[in-house]
Amino acid sequence: MDARQMKIEAARAALAYVESGMRLGIGTGSTAEEFVRLLAEKVATGLSIEGVPTSERTARLCNELGVPLKSLDELPELDLTIDGADELDGALTLIKGGGGALLREKIVAASSARMIVIADQSKVVETLGAFPLPIEVNPFGLVSTRILIERAASRLGLSGALDMRRSGDSLFVTDGGHYIVDASFGRIPDAEALSSELYSIPGVVEHGLFIHMATQAIIAGPAGARTLQANNT
């Protein structure tokens, strides 16, 4: 089973949790897109849901495939969100934002009664941080904000490159009009402490640490899909 097949397997297992009549948050990224394709097949055969996309990219795919969408203002309380992750640990703490949609992803997840993460087994780690942590920042005062991020990380014993995400020759711009700093800390032993430090910086709009948000994770490997609960790897 190759990487894409594992993503499809995780997405297929997650689809079993989607019931007709649900208000559904729909994630962003390669695994989430496999879920959208499978969801569209179910919609075409009679499944009735209302989806809220976490990015313009996801919205375009849903519209192309006939998945009905509403805005989060129209559906401010959701039954379930299904989304991918760049890393997750045994407590189901996540690093997200590799696709650049972390702010909307976190808003949608926070508006949901449940969040199911779908991923292949390579995303499960003992300690977060091998994947660079995306930090969404306001363009105003960018140099100052990066200095403050570096100082905050240092207070926690963290160091590493703080790279501005790029799209071609230009800086990557999120759907919300912000930039992303990718922080290569290597290892994040205390995600909650880092989260608090980053939230104390005015120029930080949001960060990619999703703490106490995922209710379960469906992880696909060569032998098929398995379900993880918090503190059960």
User: Which residues are the active-site residues?
Assistant: 105
Displacement of CA 162 from its chain's centroid (Å): 20
Which phi and psi angles does 63 have, rounded to 5°?
A: -65, -40
From the number of C-beta atoms within 10 Å of its C-beta (0-12, 13-18, 19+), residue 11 rates as buried
What are the distances in angstroms from CA 120 to CA 84, 104, 112, 123, 222? 9, 23, 23, 6, 9
User: Please, where are the H alpha helices in the chain?
Assistant: 3-15, 30-44, 56-65, 102-110, 142-155, 191-199
Contact 65, 53 (CB under 8 A): no
Residue found under tokens 């948000």: 213
> How many CB atoms lie under 10 A from the CB of residue 205?
19
Please state whether beta strands 170-171 and 50-53 pair in parallel, antiparallel, or not at all (unpaired).
unpaired
